[in-house]
Amino acid sequence: MSDDEQPSLFDEPRSLPYISGSDTSRAAAISMEEFAHTCRARVYKHIFDAGARGKTYTEIINELGMAQSTVNPRLVDLQRMKLIVKSGTTRLTSPGHYGAVYIVNPEADR
C-alpha cells in the first residue's frame, strides 16, 4: 500500500507492537489482533454515529464500557489511518476536564 492509499477500517488487522525478543509479548500481541480490530470498528462506529457532534475520549470510554487501555490505542490507530480527526473543539467531560472532540475525517473515503 502506498502512502497515498488510505487503509480501510475493515482491513485485516496489522500486527500489534510487542517487545522484541520477548516470546510472551509477541504471543500476547498475536492473541489480541482480532480483539483490537473489533474494538477499532466499535470505536469508529460510535464516532461515526455521533455525526458532527463527535465524541470525546471520556464519552467513548463511558458509553461503550471499554477500558482506557483499549480505547486509547484504537483512537491512535484510527487517526493514523486518517479515518478520524480531532475537530478542533473541546467539551467538558464528566470528570470535569475538557476533552478533545473526535469526528470522522471529512476527507476520508468511505
Give the position of cell 470525546.
Answer: 56
Beta-sheet pairing, 84-92 with 55-56: unpaired
Q: Give tens-digit pLDDT for 28-77.
A: 656 556 656 788 899 999 999 999 999 999 999 999 999 999 999 999 99
Q: What is the grid cell recorded at 104? A: 470522522
For the chain, how many structural domains are there in total? 1
Q: Give tens-digit pLDDT for 80-103.
A: 999 999 999 999 998 799 999 999
Range of the domain at 84: 23-104
CA–CA dist 77, 36 (Å, integer): 10
pTM as predicted: 0.70
pLDDT at 55: 98
13 in a structural domain: no
Listed in sequence order, the DSSP H helices in the chain are 23-50, 57-64, 68-80
Residue 55: what residue type? K
Q: Facing residues of 85 across strands?
A: 103
Judge contact between 64 and 42, C-beta under 8 A.
Answer: yes
| Domain CATH code at residue 48 | 1.10.10.10
7 in a structural domain: no
95 in a structural domain: yes
